[in-house]
């Protein structure tokens, strides 16, 4: 079979021949009709431009990107359709193609208020004299692919950092053991109640606290299934809210909304610590006071939704939304909040390990966390834990 294809655009002439070695048979459709069908049915945006940058053809997918019809697009330039800053970059790449280069690039643009990423390939088109008379481009929407890659990278980076933290904690635990042992022996040689005895006792209290902290760090790697109990999540949330209401200053108002009859299999001490840590961060983001809302409910995560978390399975989840009216976070801070040892305020006395521990605890329970924040508008934290039963189940 031999297929001759000819395309004419503003005087440009392109011809191709395909051979498959089989006996020649009549084609059911003309080559022109076949190319037209491929052009219009393609999920990728396909377009051509002349050397003045005017669109000379575009398929349906390309028109959808601009949100206009084919008739409205043909004859237009990018400067008629897009912001000046974006047009400058497009025209720069077009000039390279008109100079004989074939290029591939990534293009980020906002469409209908949503950010998209496109992978674009452009090649020069030759006219009947062999001169460059325009270009042909194909744009593929890779927004979802880039999002999944970014989530996977973040997950792998966080996992590597938490493994490092656990190794450091293990070594630090050995040092704590030595301090505890020698301090205990020193106390045995002193009378109870003396100043030296009291001082050594304070050292033991400090090492006990340090041991608890390193234990949490090591728990990022070593799971203890025997500590998991089926507990009503609503009970955990209401109990924590009562505690926070008494501990937080009156200007920070704590309320619980929604409801759930879900049971979750958790290490209650660890999960309560993780949720408290999130709430304490919310309190600190409201130095002048504000509202802290804990909204509990049930949800079903689909296969498409769990791709955002990389380690979560589809299914029923108990969802807790912790929402504050605080100062919020800029993107450069939000993108790093789960990194061990990252501190928004370098001068802070905190370790910078709180949210990395929260991430690790929830991950070990088969759950996930998602944070959204806007400077001046507060922060919203979504916590997901897999449902393992319902209240009243036999």
- Arithmetic mean of pLDDT, 360-375: 89
pLDDT at 91: 92
3-state SS, residue 103: strand
Q: Are 386 and 264 in contact (CB under 8 A)?
A: yes
> By CB neighbour count within 10 A (0-12 exposed, 13-18 middle, 19+ buried), where does 354 fall?
buried
Quick one: 229 and 292 in the same domain?
yes
Quick one: 293 and 392 in the same domain?
yes
3-state SS, residue 300: strand
- Does the structure show a pLDDT above 70 at 1? no
pLDDT at 394: 55
**Average pLDDT score over the chain:** 83
Q: What DSSP character marks residue 52?
A: T
Share of the chain above pLDDT 90, in %: 38
Share of the chain above pLDDT 70, in %: 84
Q: Are 45 and 65 in contact (CB under 8 A)?
A: yes
- Among residues 42, 70, 44, the alpha carbon closest in space to that of 56 is found at 70
Quick one: 57 and 155 in the same domain?
no
Q: Where is average pLDDT lowest: 60-74, 88-102, 179-193, 223-237? A: 223-237
Quick one: 248 and 280 in the same domain?
yes
- Among residues 204, 149, 205, the alpha carbon closest in space to that of 181 is found at 204
pLDDT at 216: 66
- Arithmetic mean of pLDDT, 278-301: 92
pLDDT at 348: 54
Helix (H) or strand (E) holding 171: helix 143-188
Confidence of residue 291 (pLDDT cuts 50, 70, 90): very high
- Does the structure show a pLDDT above 90 at 48? yes
Provide the CATH number for the domain around residue 64. 3.30.450.20
Which range is most confident: 29-43, 151-165, 241-255, 283-297?
Answer: 283-297
Which residue(s) pair with 177 in the sheet? Answer: none
- Does the structure show a pLDDT above 80 at 156? no
Quick one: 208 and 328 in the same domain?
no
Q: Please give the full DSSP string across 363-387, using - where no structure is assigned.
A: HHTT-EEEEEEETTTEEEEEEEEE-
pLDDT at 361: 85
Domain boundary among the residues 96, 114, 141 is at 141
Provide the CATH number for the domain around residue 181. 1.10.287
Q: Are 369 and 384 in contact (CB under 8 A)?
A: yes
pLDDT at 218: 67
Quick one: 285 and 350 in the same domain?
yes
Quick one: 273 and 352 in the same domain?
yes
Quick one: 280 and 307 in the same domain?
yes
Q: Please give the full DSSP string across 235-296, using - where no structure is assigned.
A: HHHHHHHHHHHHHS-TTEEEEEEE---EEEEE-HHHHHHHHHHHHHHHHHT-TT-EEEEEEE
**pLDDT tens, position by position, 93-121:** 999 999 999 999 998 887 767 788 999 99
Confidence of residue 44 (pLDDT cuts 50, 70, 90): very high
Provide the CATH number for the domain around residue 305. 3.30.565.10
Cα dihedral 172, 173, 175, 177, rounded to 10, equals 170
Quick one: 212 and 320 in the same domain?
no
pLDDT at 231: 92
Across the chain, where does the E strand assignment appear?
Answer: 2-9, 12-19, 45-50, 55-58, 103-111, 114-126, 132-141, 229-232, 252-258, 262-266, 290-301, 315-324, 368-374, 378-386, 389-390
Quick one: 129 and 13 in the same domain?
yes
d(CA 235, CA 219): 24
Which residue(s) pair with 109 in the sheet? Answer: 116
- Arithmetic mean of pLDDT, 349-378: 82
Quick one: 68 and 137 in the same domain?
yes
- Does the structure show a pLDDT above 60 at 15? no
Quick one: 256 and 183 in the same domain?
no
Domain boundary among the residues 141, 174, 196 is at 141
- Arithmetic mean of pLDDT, 331-349: 72
Distance between first and last Cα of the chain: 69
Domain boundary among the residues 188, 222, 256 is at 222
Domain count, the chain: 3
Domain extent at residue 126? 2-141
Q: Are 139 and 120 in contact (CB under 8 A)?
A: yes
**pLDDT tens, position by position, 236-284:** 999 889 888 887 888 999 999 999 999 999 988 888 888 988 998 899 8
Which range is most confident: 29-33, 38-42, 221-225?
Answer: 38-42
């Amino acid at each position: 079979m031999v297929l001759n294809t000819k395309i004419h655009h503003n005087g440009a002439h392109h011809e191709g021949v395909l051979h498959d070695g089989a006996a020649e048979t009549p084609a059911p459709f003309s080559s022109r009709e076949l190319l037209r069908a491929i052009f219009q049915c393609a999920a990728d945006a396909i377009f051509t431009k002349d050397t003045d940058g005017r669109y000379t053809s575009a398929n349906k997918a390309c028109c959808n990107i601009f949100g206009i019809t084919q008739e409205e697009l043909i004859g237009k330039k990018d400067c008629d359709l897009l912001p000046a800053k974006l047009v400058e970059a497009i025209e720069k790449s077009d000039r390279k193609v008109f100079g004989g280069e074939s290029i591939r690039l990534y293009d980020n643009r906002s469409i209908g208020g949503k950010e998209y990423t496109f992978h674009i390939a452009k090649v020069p088109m030759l006219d009947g004299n062999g001169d460059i008379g325009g270009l042909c481009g194909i744009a593929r929407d890779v927004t979802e692919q880039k999002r999944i890659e970014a989530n996977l990278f973040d997950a792998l980076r966080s996992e590597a950092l938490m493994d490092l933290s656990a190794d450091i904690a293990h070594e630090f635990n050995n040092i704590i053991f030595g301090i505890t042992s020698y301090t205990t022996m020193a106390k045995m040689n002193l009378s109870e109640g003396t100043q030296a005895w009291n001082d050594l006792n304070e050292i033991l209290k400090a090492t006990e606290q340090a041991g608890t902290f390193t234990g949490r760090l090591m728990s990022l790697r070593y799971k203890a299934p025997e500590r998991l109990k089926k507990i009503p999540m609503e009970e955990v949330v209401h109990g924590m809210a009562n505690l926070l209401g008494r501990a937080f200053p009156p200007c920070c108002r704590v309320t619980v909304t929604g409801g759930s009859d879900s049971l979750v299999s958790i290490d209650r001490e660890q999960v309560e610590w993780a949720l408290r840590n999130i709430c304490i961060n919310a309190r600190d983001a409201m130095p002048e006071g504000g509202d802290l809302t804990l909204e509990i409910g049930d949800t079903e995560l689909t296969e498409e939704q769990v791709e955002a978390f990389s380690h979560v399975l589809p299914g029923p989840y108990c969802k807790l939304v912790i929402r504050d009216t605080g100062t919020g976070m800029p993107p450069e801070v939000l993108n790093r909040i789960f990194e061990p040892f990252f501190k928004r305020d370098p001068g802070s006395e905190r370790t910078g390990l709180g949210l990395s521990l929260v991430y690790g605890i929830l991950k070990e329970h088969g759950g996930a966390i998602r944070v959204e924040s806007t400077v001046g508008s507060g922060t919203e934290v979504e916590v997901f834990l897999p449902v393992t039963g319902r209240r009243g189940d036999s």
